[in-house]
A and B are shown apart, each in its own frame.
Chain A
């Protein structure tokens, strides 16, 4: 093959991404004219590309095809659960017919159509479980009460919301909603910067990010940022410099308490199934780890530990992304299975900046785990470093090894590392174990001995009940 000629894969890529030059287009046309095999491959690529876009609600479905789960009216616009699918389908069909009437009756003007869609917010259903909606539907919502089940949808502004019951939401407009109870995860991408979530105690202004918001039973609001940043404001006030409480960036979490209206750090954030999502209020929490805390006393410090109940496995999230760090995950050593002993443990995500590097020294910080029952505590330690005294004293090296990665190539932790066969930078961790035979608080020390330069990774932690 002529090295200067792009491959069919590259041509397809250029067409799909809209970056094809006129020369590229001429080449792909020539190939499609002359080769049935290339046409077949083109169909496959285009059709799957289109279906994936459709499935994720990124296709701009004609407004006239909007489906509502029930005949929409001022008095009857609360979505009750559960619905029967047959009723829903019939109602949807009737609504679609009403929409189609705009095409069929020429005298109906654009104003009538816009009035018909102004009352709620148009959303595309992306995923649904135990809800009356089906993937691919577009519905109009003004208010949503979900006791059980889960739903993911894209609002017409582009923001994607993901949640499970119980949750109570009011849709104020495509760029603003009110969360009255429950947890929601929001991904505004680049399209809905400026999206606002109101809660009883705070307003959260999104600046292009993914974040989770929970309104707890006492009315307090937890905010956790997974990518990008959000600004937190006092509830009930305009979004101004005066009402702004803090800016949170990825890897940070804070709570606006209902009692004293103060913003405070959230030490431990329970994630949903290892994904970058806050769990629903009724989702299972760790049955072993009651709390994770540390002795960091620093103003405006909001870094948090994450915990995923039973989440330790190949590909499990090791640490929340924070600025220069990618989303680090735990992996098996190449050619070996992931250690059976670790699988299913409750996984605690630590954060890399814990290994503070001011003046090139380690910090004096330690981590406390409040444990509710007999369990094995595992520390996953960077093998580049010398294990600190507390680790050698209280834990034993199991001989097991796992990897964390992929690390960004400019990360200080991997400056002496060569890329592996896949071109990725992964660190090897030794697995240390300590058995705790009753409910207790276990303290884990700093990752390195005091006073030494510490360009190594922060350790990971996992906890497994002893049954």
Chain B
């Protein structure tokens, strides 16, 4: 990227709208490459800034998210360099490889959040309560397991299965209307 190619006219409303619509997908992309949510918000902010400064580079005929993922990938790599003394989940080679694979999934990724909401509604009440405890109330899996008198490993496996169910549901229904 050419650092000097800053846009001087600023982002258009259309650009802003696309950027807004892509936030959750970009966040998920960054979390995947970082191997967790720590620092993901900082990387997203840096990515947003770079995207806005270079909005003139964006070809509106091209998918926005795929273009944005490229910036996010660079920001993840830059962040890794600044954190080299910290423990990193993935190594550089894996990040590059996985970013390339994730970019293939960019199509319609910005509508996943909406589909996910519907998929959560399809869970049974107990499953929804678990999702709510972990993600809405922010309880750790260990605490939920303790509260329900279940082994942590069993609860972790349950959450793995729940995320798998939701991922499969999102995958099968993305792009479809009227998911009941």
Residues of chain A within 8 A (CB-CB) of B153 are: 10
For the complex formed, measure the closest distance between the CB of B58 and the CB atoms of chain A, giving whole angstroms: 14
Whether A9 contacts B45 by the Cβ 8 Å rule is no
CA distance A79 to B17 in the complex (A): 22
B contact residues, total (Cβ < 8 Å): 66
Whether A51 contacts B138 by the Cβ 8 Å rule is no
Indicate which residue in A10, A39, A49, A101 contacts B163 across the interface (CB closer than 8 Å).
A49
Stretch of A52-60, A195-203, A279-287, A435-443 contacting B (4+ beta carbons < 8 Å): A52-60
Whether A43 contacts B32 by the Cβ 8 Å rule is yes
Stretch of A18-26, A114-122, A167-175, A389-397 contacting B (4+ beta carbons < 8 Å): A18-26
Residue interface mask B96-120, A partner, CB < 8 A = 1: 0010011001000000110011000
Whether B156 contacts A10 by the Cβ 8 Å rule is yes
Whether A61 contacts B23 by the Cβ 8 Å rule is yes
CA distance A103 to B16 in the complex (A): 14
Whether B31 contacts A48 by the Cβ 8 Å rule is no
B179 within 8 Å of A (CB atoms): no
Residues of chain A within 8 A (CB-CB) of B163 are: 44-45, 48-49, 52
B94 within 8 Å of A (CB atoms): yes
- Which residue on A lies nearest to B102, using beta carbons? A43
B77 within 8 Å of A (CB atoms): no
CA distance A51 to B49 in the complex (A): 21
For the residues of A in contact with B, the DSSP-based class is: helix
User: Interface size class for chain A?
Assistant: 35 or more
Stretch of A27-35, A332-340, A445-453 contacting B (4+ beta carbons < 8 Å): A27-35
For the complex formed, measure the closest distance between the CB of B113 and the CB atoms of chain A, giving whole angstroms: 6
Using A25-B87, A45-B163, A97-B13 as known contacts, say yes or no to A50 and B52 having CB atoms under 8 A apart.
no
Whether A47 contacts B44 by the Cβ 8 Å rule is no
Whether B98 contacts A54 by the Cβ 8 Å rule is no
CA distance A18 to B140 in the complex (A): 10
Whether B117 contacts A64 by the Cβ 8 Å rule is no
Whether B94 contacts A93 by the Cβ 8 Å rule is no
Identify 10 new A-B residue pairs, CB closer than 8 A, beyond the known A49-B31, A50-B32.
Answer: A9-B157, A42-B32, A43-B101, A50-B28, A54-B23, A58-B135, A61-B44, A65-B20, A97-B11, A408-B149
Q: Which B residues form the contact surface with A (CB < 8 A)?
A: 7, 10-11, 13, 16-17, 20, 23-24, 27-28, 30-32, 35-38, 40-41, 44-45, 48-49, 52-53, 87, 89-91, 93-94, 98, 101-102, 105, 112-113, 116-117, 125-126, 131, 134-138, 140-142, 147-150, 153, 156-157, 159-160, 163-164, 166-168, 170
Of the A-B pairs whose beta carbons lie under 8 Å apart in the complex, a sample of 23, sorted by A's number, is A9-B160, A10-B156, A10-B157, A13-B159, A18-B36, A32-B98, A33-B93, A41-B164, A45-B160, A47-B28, A50-B37, A51-B28, A54-B27, A55-B117, A67-B20, A92-B20, A94-B13, A96-B16, A97-B16, A101-B10, A136-B24, A160-B137, A409-B149
Query: Nearest 8 CB-CB pairs, A to B?
Result: A62-B45, A50-B31, A44-B167, A13-B156, A50-B28, A60-B41, A46-B32, A52-B135
